[in-house]
Amino acid sequence: MKIGIVCYPTFGGSGVVATELGIELSKRGHEIHFITYNQPVRLEQLSNNVHYHEVNVPEYPLFHYQPYELALSSKLVDMVKLHNIEILHVHYAIPHAYAAYMAQKMLREESIYIPIVTTLHGTDITLVGSHPFYKPAVTFSINKSDAVTAVSQSLKDDTMRLFDIKNEIHVVTNFIDINKYNFHFTDCQRDMMAHENEKIITHISNFRPVKRIEDVINVFYNVQKEIPAKLMMVGEGPEKEKAEQLCEKLDILEKVIFFGRSHEIDKILCFSDLFLLPSETESFGLAALEAMASGVPVISSNTGGIPEVNKQGVTGFLSHVGDIDDMSKNAIHILSNQERLKTFKQNAKVEAAKFDIHNIVPQYETIYENTLKMC
């Protein structure tokens, strides 16, 4: 199939999932066209059947907000015609599903029917999409998609609860390529980060308020009082400064390393003992799955889709949002016994393997095939 993929080209989970999906589909013989405003960060190599088409939005002083949807829908029309793209898969409803629908309408005028598959990722539903400013447009574009998928059962339930949805929503979970995590770094360079007796705790996110960065710091603060430990904070975002200030206030700055954005997530996870994800809401928690695939147990909140990934008492522990004491207690429980830590690490890997890319991508292929048949 010739598939157009629209996504955010950033470090965010939805962009990562869309990019990894496109790369895997290309390996399975499909021709993939990424259509977005930058080359996706995880798309390192373009090839015969992986193409990238940039959406340009020229700055014009009259516009307070540059009309990205307009530029995207025009680009979609041009690319569908030029490359005979058969199906569009848009990741993140806002504004991608809306722009795709406009492109579909324009192409119809030329007797071309391009089906749209929309994948809902989370914040496009739970945080941004359900805002009254956007809700009618988001509802409309979900209902007008030819097929809709959600990355967890929890996100499907939220979507059905928050919007008036007429379409069926298929749950196709996020995934990881487990082979990529079967690495054995001979030297994780762990000793550059921590002393031998110290445990390494990691958090990776976009440092937005929804990630509850202060909870990460407070849990770590409690843990390091009991167990020698270091905290790796990976990512950039609006809460980073607050986090640094809190570390300073708690006098733990020398135990916390702020990496900023990193392309070396696998190396960081390789030397990690525990992953913290205390989010306010999380439709899936791809970062937790990536940690588990590296054999890192997870201490998380029990919100949204996280319980579909992190299994209580098996791959880690889940607590109510904001329950720092419970998260600290659970973290200490795992880290304080070497044998127990080893078991949790093994369990994390086994559970993560259930989300292997090779099990999930065929589900998308089936959805494309069925959608094409229906149109």
Could you say whether residue 330 binds ligand GMT (CB under 6 A)?
no
Mark the segment that binds ligand GMT (CB under 6 A) among 6-14, 50-58, 163-171, 268-276: 6-14
Residues 189-248 that bind ligand GMT (CB under 6 A): 206, 208, 210
Strand, helix or coil at 152?
coil
Residue type, position 188, single letter: C
CB of 18 to ligand GMT, least distance (A): 9
Among 285, 295, 297, 316, binds ligand GMT (CB under 6 A): 285
If one asks whether residue 284 binds ligand GMT (CB under 6 A), the answer comes out as yes
Does position 141 interact with ligand GMT (CB under 6 A)? The reply is: no
Which phi and psi (to 5°) does residue 90 adopt?
Answer: -105, 130
Nearer to ligand GMT, 4 or 12 (CB): 12
**Torsion angle, alpha carbons of 231, 234, 236, 238, to 10:** -40
Parallel, antiparallel, or unpaired for β 87-91 and 316-319? unpaired
State which of residues 123, 272, 301, 319 lies at the interface with ligand GMT (CB under 6 A).
Answer: 123
Where do we find the tokens 């390192």?
44
Of positions 3, 6, 17, 97, contacts ligand GMT by CB under 6 A: 17
Distance of alpha carbon 309 from alpha carbon 331, whole angstroms: 18
Q: Which of 65, 69, 67 is nearest to 96 (CA)?
A: 69
Nearest distance, CB of residue 257 and ligand GMT, angstroms: 22
Task: From 55, 25, 60, select the one nearest 40 (Cα to Cα).
Answer: 55
Closer residue to ligand GMT, CB minimum distance, 271 or 284 = 284
| Binding residues for ligand GMT restricted to 253-282, rule: CB under 6 A | 281-282
Give the phi and the psi of residue 16 in degrees, each rounded to 5.
Answer: -65, -45
Whole-angstrom distance, CA of residue 58 vs CA of residue 361: 36
150 vs 231 by CB, closer to ligand GMT: 150
Site string for ligand GMT, 158-197 (x = CB under 6 A): ----------------x-----------------------
CA distance 224 to 319: 19
Which of these segments, 21-29, 48-56, 69-77, 119-127, binds ligand GMT (CB under 6 A)? 119-127
**Interaction of residue 129 with ligand GMT, rule CB under 6 A:** no
Give one DSSP letter per residue of 278-292, joined into a string.
--S--SS-HHHHHHH
Q: How many residues bind ligand GMT (CB under 6 A)?
A: 20
Nearer Cβ to ligand GMT, position 152 or 224?
152
Cross-strand pairs, 32: 3, 50
Distances (CA, A) of 16 to 90, 92, 98, 141: 13, 12, 21, 22
Nearer to ligand GMT, 224 or 305 (CB): 305
Tokens 């941004």 correspond to 128
In the beta sheet, which residues pair with residue 116?
88
Beta carbon nearer to ligand GMT, 102 or 309: 309
Query: Which alpha helices (H) appear in 127-239, and where do they start and end?
Result: 135-144, 153-162, 213-226
Length of the chain: 375
Choice between 122 and 316, CB closer to ligand GMT: 122
Q: What one-letter code names the amino acid at 217?
A: I
Q: Contact between 286 and ligand GMT (CB under 6 A)?
A: yes
Q: For residue 61, count other CB atoms closer than 10 A to its CB.
A: 5
For ligand GMT, the binding residue among 13, 40, 115, 129 (CB under 6 A) is 13
Give the residue, chosen from 36, 202, 283, 319, that forms a contact with ligand GMT under the rule CB under 6 A: 283
Nearer to ligand GMT, 193 or 259 (CB): 259
Q: How far is the CB of 261 from ligand GMT (least distance, A)?
A: 13
- Nearest-approach distance from CB 339 to ligand GMT, in angstroms: 31
Given the rule CB under 6 A, which residues bind ligand GMT?
Answer: 12-14, 17, 92, 121-123, 126, 151, 174, 206, 208, 210, 281-286
